[in-house]
Structure 1
Amino acid sequence: MLRLLSAVFALLGSLIGPALAQDARRSECLAMANGPTRAAPVSFRQAAAAKDEVTITYAGHSTYYIDTPGGVRIATDYSGVYRTGRLPDVVTMNRAHSTHYTLFPDSRIAHVLHGWGDDGQPAHIAERIGDVYIRNVTTDIRRYFGEDSDGPMIKDGNSIFIFEIAGLCIGHLGHLHVKLDESQFAAIGRLDIVMVPIDGTYTMSLGGISEITKRLRASVVLPMHRFMTPLEDFMQRIGNQFEIDRRGERSLTISQETLPSTPTVIILDGV
């Protein structure tokens, strides 16, 4: 077993680099990605058996609130514009434009995580905060919007954030502008739930984001940046391997045990 684990970490090191290989030792989602399909480590099975539930609320645009069983509240792509419920304890940000970040967050927010490097280096986030482990995978971003823009690229200007909570692997793709390479897929690992921008213009083309969605094959897909693309166009591109579930409420409460058996696009109320 020790030899097998060493081989796995060596492979991760070759694919995703030394820093992320270190993260792999702390990430159960990466461990699951390198095991048999849908095989869960003991700690994941214990978490599922405890029926720990995560609540995800769509606030608008690219902001989802994630409430953990331990009481940690997270807001993604936080600008302060899209709010619901109490102030978050943790906020993640991407700097595409002002609806995805703020340089002046409420001082009562304990943890402010930038998806870009503040010192000229790529952002590297690998933090345990309460009962959630948060890490990131950087991607390049265009200075001007859209996959087909001719504008210059900002290297590592965007982050895909991954939240590991109660046996669930939850990913937020951020303001994604570029296709992912093999090293990035390896660094992301397995996702049970993924938040995907489907505008088709300001982020990636609809074809590009659909291919990434199919490749990740999460049990639950939560669309965001929903203001332009008819949902039917997105569903047609990802194919009949995904079901669709429209909800009349803004929140979803879910656990490892209650993930759908068929990959499902869940549309929460909101814009």
Structure 2
Amino acid sequence: MVIVEWHGHACVSIKKSNDYTIVFDPHDGVSIGLPRPNVKGDLILVTHDHFDHNAVDIVKKESSRVFKEFHGEALIDDVKIEGIKTYHDKFQGRRRGINTVYVVEVEGYRIAHLGDLGHKLSDELIDKLRNIDLLIIPVGGTYTIGPDEAWDIITEVQPNNVLPIHYWVKGLNLPLFPIDDFLVYVKKYHVVRLDTRSFKLGEYEKSIIIPRI
């Protein structure tokens, strides 16, 4: 059993059945106006070194393994990781730097976290992500792809399920679009609004999953 939990903004944790936990893009809470992530990671993956994504000390244990902007492949504690270099903007990083797309394989599931992706995907990356089990994708615009661009990527990749991230919620002090600005584009997917922060991977099919923050 794999449990996915959203901790606000771009911070997402993936917990395996043995409680081994992967944390993506931790924030410190106070800097962006949200509660601090209440999770500790055995493996911490940072897509890019910006303040709202790299608060490693908040989620780190003494034994944690940390990968920042890792590009390549690795096998860590039975978790297969691939980090793929992308950009935080539409100008090959000249404005906001690089970004990493992480693809991890956990207990038979393939999960992709797109970080602060700022541009359309290459055909090669679309093929790599096609039919992935869970696509974690920014939808809030301003610093990343916007709602319409996010939907275009989803249409191309055809993931089984989608977890939107990096959008405006109450308290967030960043100028992002709210989730409803993305949902107007959604077709042929169920929209599932949860009463909790977490869900079990495999519980939904062809769904846009929106946890409560």
TM over 0.5: yes
**Matched residue, 1:178:** 119
| Larger-gyration structure (1/2) | 1
Secondary structure (helix, strand or coil) at the match of 1:223 reads strand
Shift of 1:197: 0.8
| TM-score normalised according to structure 1 size | 0.66
2:159 to 205, 214, 218: 218
Structure 1 counterpart of 2:94, which letter?
A: P
What letter matches 1:65 in structure 2?
Answer: S
* 1:82-121 equivalence runs, <5 A: 82-85=36-39, 87-95=40-48, 97-102=50-55, 106=60, 108-115=62-69
Note the C-alpha offset of 1:183. Answer: 1.7
Cα deviation digits, residues 220-261 of structure 1 (max 9, x gap):
1111112132333212223x2111011100110123xx441x
Q: Matched residues, percent identical?
A: 23
Q: Is the 8 A contact 1:72 1:130 kept in 2?
A: no
**Unaligned stretches of 5+ in structure 2?**
30-35, 169-175
- Given candidates 246, 249, 256, the residue that maps to 2:196 is 249
Residue type at the aligned position of 1:101: N
C-alpha distance 97-154 of structure 1, shift in aligned 2 (>3 A) = closer
SS at match of 1:215: helix
C-alpha distance in 2, partners of 1:68/1:104? 21
Q: Which secondary structure does the structure 1 equivalent of 2:180 belong to?
A: helix
Q: 1:223 to 1:179 in 2, by over 3 A?
A: same
Match of 2:11 among 58, 63, 86: 63
**Structure 1 range deviating more: 96-105 or 182-191:** 96-105
Q: For the residues of structure 2 that align with 1:268 and 1:63, how far apart are their CA atoms? A: 12
| 2: CA distance, partners of 1:151 / 1:183 | 19
- SS of the residue aligned with 1:89? strand
TM-aligned CA distance change 1:179 to 1:109, over 3 Å = farther
Report the CA distance shift for 1:219/1:107 in structure 2 as closer, same or farther (over 3 A): closer
Q: Give the one of 175, 186, 192 matched to 2:133.
A: 192
Structure 1 pair 69/109, CA: closer, same or farther in 2 (3 Å)? same
Pairing 1:202–2:143 present: yes
Q: Which has the higher helix share?
A: 1
Give the whole-Å Cα distance in 1 for the aligned partners of 2:113 and 2:200. Answer: 17
Deviation of the 1:266 alpha carbon: 0.8
Alignment partner, residue 211 of structure 2:
268
How many angstroms does 1:130 deviate by?
2.4
| Greater share of residues in strand | 2
| 1:32 matched residue in structure 2 | none
Cα distance, 1:134 vs structure 2:
1.4
The alignment partner of 2:183 has SS state of helix
- Aligned residue type for 1:269: R
Is the CA contact (8 Å cut-off) linking 1:222 and 1:265 kept in structure 2? yes
The residue that corresponds to 1:28 in the other structure is none
1:70 and 1:131 in contact (8 A); partners too: no
- Aligned-pair CA distance for 1:184: 1.9
Q: Give the distance between the partners of 1:131 and 1:103, measured in 2 at CA.
A: 22
Is contact 1:61–1:224 with CA below 8 Å preserved after alignment?
Answer: yes
CA drift at 1:200 = 1.9
Structure 1: 5+ residue runs without aligned partners? 1-52, 117-122
- Rounded to whole Å, the distance in 2 between the matches of 1:166 and 1:195 is 17
> What secondary structure, in the 3-state scheme, does the structure 2 residue paired with 1:60 have?
coil
Matches of 1:152 and 1:190 in 2, distance apart? 31
Pair 112,180 (structure 1): closer, same or farther in 2 beyond 3 Å: same
- One-letter amino acid of the counterpart of residue 114, structure 1: K
How far did residue 109 of structure 1 move? 4.6
| d(CA) in 2 for partners of 1:61, 1:168 | 23
Q: When the two structures are aligned, how many residues end up with a matched partner? A: 199
The answer to whether the 8 A contact 2:26-2:55 is kept is yes
Find the residue that maps to 2:25 and give its secondary structure.
Answer: coil
